[in-house]
Amino acid sequence: MVAALKETLLDESRTTEVVADVQALIDAEVSDKSGASGLALKGGYAAVKKVGPSIVPDAIEGLLPAFVEKLEPFWQEFAASGEGSFAQFLTARGETVSHALLGVTDERIEGTDRGAVKKVYSSLRPSAQKHVAEALPRLGDLVQKYAG
C-alpha cells in the first residue's frame, strides 16, 4: 500500500518546504500566463498579495489539507496504475482533477469575510479551471517529489 498523501505532504517537519514549493508553483504558473486573461490573472494575484505579504503562504497552509484530501484518490489510483508520472496521470484527467481542486477554493471563498479577496476570486473564477488544468504537470511533479 502506498503512503497516504497526508502522511507525506502534511508532515509537520515538511510544512515550510511544501508551502514554499506550492507558492513557487503558483508564482511560476501566474508568471507564465500571457494575453488578456494572463494580464487579469497577474493583476488579481498581485492585488491579493498586496492585502498582506503572508496572505498567500497562509492561504496555502490553510487550504493544503483540503487539497491533499481531494488529491488522495487520484494518488492512490495512480499508484495502483503503474503509470510513469503523477504529472501525466493528473494531466490526462485534467477536467476532473481541476474541478475537484476548485471545489476547495469555491467552498473557502464562500466563507471569507474579505471582500477584496472575494471580488478578485469571482472575477478570475470563470477561467480558473483552465488555469488549474494547466498547472497539473507542475502539481504532479511537486506531489511526486514528496510522496514518490
Task: Write out pLDDT tens, residues 89-117.
Answer: 999 999 999 999 999 989 988 888 888 88
Three-class DSSP labels, 127-140: HHHHHHHHHHHHHH
Are 68 and 6 within 8 A, CB to CB? yes
Are 29 and 135 within 8 A, CB to CB? yes
Of 7, 133, 4, 139, the C-alpha closest to 85 is 139
pLDDT of residue 64: 95
66 pLDDT tier (thresholds 50, 70, 90): very high
pLDDT of residue 17: 96
pLDDT of residue 2: 74
Chain length of the chain: 148
Are 97 and 136 within 8 A, CB to CB? yes
Choose between 81 and 40: higher pLDDT: 81
60 pLDDT tier (thresholds 50, 70, 90): very high
pLDDT of residue 41: 82
Are 135 and 22 within 8 A, CB to CB? no
Question: Which string of b and e fits 92-120 if b means at least 16 CB within 10 Å?
Answer: ebbeebbebbbebbeeeeeeeeeeebeeb
Statement: residue 69 has pLDDT above 90:
yes
Task: Write out pLDDT tens, residues 110-141.
Answer: 888 888 888 888 887 888 889 899 999 999 99
pLDDT of residue 1: 61
Print the domain residue range for 67: 5-147
Statement: residue 36 has pLDDT above 90:
no
Domains of the chain: total? 1
- Calculate helix-pair angle for 94-110, 115-147, nearest 10 degrees: 140
Statement: residue 25 has pLDDT above 70:
yes
pLDDT of residue 113: 87
